[in-house]
Amino acid sequence: MDRLDGPPRLILVADLDCTLVDHDDPENTHLLRFNALWEAHYRHDSLLVYSTGRSMLSYLNLGKKKPLLTPDIAITSVGSEIAYCGELVVFDDVWVARLSEMWNRDIVVEETSKFPQLEPQPERSQEQHKVSFYVEREHAVEIMKVLPGILMERGVDVKMVYSNDYAFDVLPGKSGKGGALAYLLEKLENEGKQSSNILVCGDSGNDAELFNISQAYGVMVSNSHKELLQWHEENAKDNPNIILASERCAAGIIEALQRFNLGPSFSPRDVLDAEHFQEEVLDPAHEVVQFYLFYEKWRSGEVDKSDKYLQNLKSLSSPLGIFVHPSGVEKPIHEWIDDLKTLHGEGKEKQFHIWLDRVLFSHISSDTWIVKFDKHELSGKSPVLFYKSVIELSGGKAKAGVDAHPPIMVNWFLFR
Q: Which residues bind ligand GLC (CB under 6 A)?
A: 53-54, 58, 78, 121, 125, 132, 161, 163, 167, 169, 206
Range 213-218 contact pairs with CB under 8 angstroms and sequence separation of 24 or more? 213/178, 213/181, 213/182, 213/185, 215/185, 216/13, 216/241, 217/241, 217/242, 217/256, 217/260, 217/262, 218/242, 218/243
- Closer of 178 and 284 to ligand GLC (Cβ): 178
Specify whether the CB–CB gap between 81 and 38 falls below 8 A.
no
Residue 176: C-alpha distances to residues 132, 209, 294, 400 (Å): 13, 7, 42, 45
- Closer of 132 and 267 to ligand GLC (Cβ): 132
Least distance from ligand GLC to the Cβ atom of residue 57, Å? 10
- Asked if 203 touches Mg ion (CB under 5 A), the answer is yes
Helix (H) or strand (E) holding 344: none
Least distance from ligand GLC to the Cβ atom of residue 107, Å? 20
How many residues make contact with Mg ion (CB under 5 A)?
A: 6
The only residue of 51, 80, 204, 394 in contact with Mg ion, by rule CB under 5 A: 204
- Contacted by 15, from Mg ion, ligand GLC, none: CB < 5 to 8 Å by type: Mg ion
- Asked if 15 touches Mg ion (CB under 5 A), the answer is yes
Least distance from Mg ion to the Cβ atom of residue 16, Å? 7
Q: How far is Cα 242 from Cα 209, in angstroms, rounded to an integer?
A: 13
Q: 160 in the Ramachandran plot: left (φ > 0), alpha (ψ -120 to 50) or beta?
A: beta
Q: How far is Cα 269 from Cα 415, in angstroms, rounded to an integer?
A: 26
**Span between the terminal Cα atoms of the chain, in Å:** 33
Q: Which of 109, 96, 137, 28 is nearest to 386 (CA)?
A: 28
- Closer of 140 and 391 to Mg ion (Cβ): 140
Instruction: Tell me the pairing of strands 81-85 and 73-76.
Output: antiparallel
- Contacted by 104, from ligand GLC, Mg ion, none: CB < 5 to 8 Å by type: none
Binding segment for Mg ion among 12-20, 280-288, 338-346, 396-404 (CB under 5 A)? Answer: 12-20
Which SS3 state, helix, strand or coil, does residue 20 take? coil
- Contacted by 163, from Mg ion, ligand GLC, none: CB < 5 to 8 Å by type: ligand GLC
Least distance from Mg ion to the Cβ atom of residue 20, Å? 9
- Closer of 76 and 195 to ligand GLC (Cβ): 76
- Contacted by 73, from ligand GLC, Mg ion, none: CB < 5 to 8 Å by type: none
- Closer of 160 and 398 to Mg ion (Cβ): 160
Q: How far is Cα 252 from Cα 160, in angstroms, rounded to an integer?
A: 28
- Closer of 54 and 269 to Mg ion (Cβ): 54
> 29-41 and 284-299 helices cross at what angle (nearest 10)?
150
- Contacted by 377, from Mg ion, ligand GLC, none: CB < 5 to 8 Å by type: none
Q: How far is Cα 207 from Cα 209, in angstroms, rounded to an integer?
A: 5
Binding segment for Mg ion among 14-22, 80-88, 315-323, 398-406 (CB under 5 A)? Answer: 14-22
- Closer of 7 and 53 to Mg ion (Cβ): 53
- Asked if 227 touches Mg ion (CB under 5 A), the answer is no
Binding segment for Mg ion among 42-50, 55-63, 82-90, 202-210 (CB under 5 A)? Answer: 202-210
Q: How far is Cα 238 from Cα 240, in angstroms, rounded to an integer?
A: 6
- Contacted by 72, from ligand GLC, Mg ion, none: CB < 5 to 8 Å by type: none
For Mg ion, which residue has the nearest CB?
A: 17
Which residues of 106-238 form beta strands (DSSP E)? 119-120, 131-134, 158-163, 167-172, 198-202, 217-220
Least distance from Mg ion to the Cβ atom of residue 19, Å? 5
Helix (H) or strand (E) holding 98: helix 93-100
- Contacted by 78, from ligand GLC, Mg ion, none: CB < 5 to 8 Å by type: ligand GLC
Helix (H) or strand (E) holding 262: none
- Asked if 158 touches Mg ion (CB under 5 A), the answer is no
362 phi, psi to nearest 5 deg: -130, 145
For ligand GLC, which residue has the nearest CB?
A: 53
Q: How far is Cα 409 from Cα 363, in angstroms, rounded to an integer?
A: 12
The only residue of 4, 7, 14, 17 in contact with Mg ion, by rule CB under 5 A: 17
- Closer of 20 and 167 to ligand GLC (Cβ): 167
Specify whether the CB–CB gap between 283 and 29 falls below 8 A.
no
- Asked if 22 touches Mg ion (CB under 5 A), the answer is no
**Chain contacts with Mg ion (rule: CB under 5 A):** 15, 17-19, 203-204
